[in-house]
Amino acid sequence: MSTIAVLGNGRVGGNLFQALDRAGREVTVADREPGAAADAARRAQVVINATPGAGSLERLTALREELRGKILVDVSNATVDGPDGLPADLMYPGSSLAEQLQEALPETRVVKTLNTMLFPVMTAPGALAQPPSVFLSGDDAEAKQVVRELLADLGWQKEWITDLGGIRTARATEAAILFVPHVIRTNGFAPFAISINR
């Protein structure tokens, strides 16, 4: 079973850490102490990026050696915030944070997932009234299979998981963040997710 490090101990990272710990995974979360992220990444086989997306590329590029050969699960969205603090635009239009990470870290297997929902849904997908969807983007099939197993531990049923293909497809799911401020302004912070219904 893979050892997991969660980088980022805010609402997203803390939520993922607690859920994976409850599922019996060997998981650590890096706090803000100097060197904590490097130590956590060095010891893990799977590293989850739950740091704020606007600074993720710089933070993770600094961990190039620690991330070499690892699976990097990127759940962040890199956005430019509006005056109300909600996402107003993408930092990497015509690309994505996941693509930027994969290019900067060629010896790391990047998988994008869990970025098309409010954070409570990541670990409680069954709590919504309708089944949500979660997407996988990445160039490495083995890495995506490992992430599928993590998603199952978080409560995601097999039929709710859609593999979109290579890392380039992450630009589609990252663009979905632009729905979020409008939905929140209309309905408040009630948990929701993008869902593909057939």
Asked whether residue 79 is assigned to any structural domain, the reply reads: yes
Q: Is 13 a member of any domain? A: yes
Give residues with Cβ within 8 angstroms of 77, minimum separation 6: 53, 87, 97, 115, 174, 177
Specify the CATH number for the domain of residue 80: 3.40.50.720
27-63 pLDDT, tens digit each:
999 977 778 999 999 999 999 999 999 999 999 999 9
In a domain, 18, yes or no: yes
pLDDT tens-place string over residues 55-84: 999 999 999 999 999 999 999 999 999 998
Q: State mean pLDDT over 124-142.
A: 97
Expressed as residue numbers, the domain containing 139 is 3-187
Lowest mean pLDDT of 14-18, 34-38, 90-94, 139-143, name the range. Answer: 34-38
Residue written as tokens 């430019």?
80
Query: For the residues 150-162, what does the mean pLDDT come to?
Result: 97
Evaluate whether residue 196 is within a structural domain.
no
Number of domains in the chain: 1
In this prediction, residue 141 carries a pLDDT of: 98
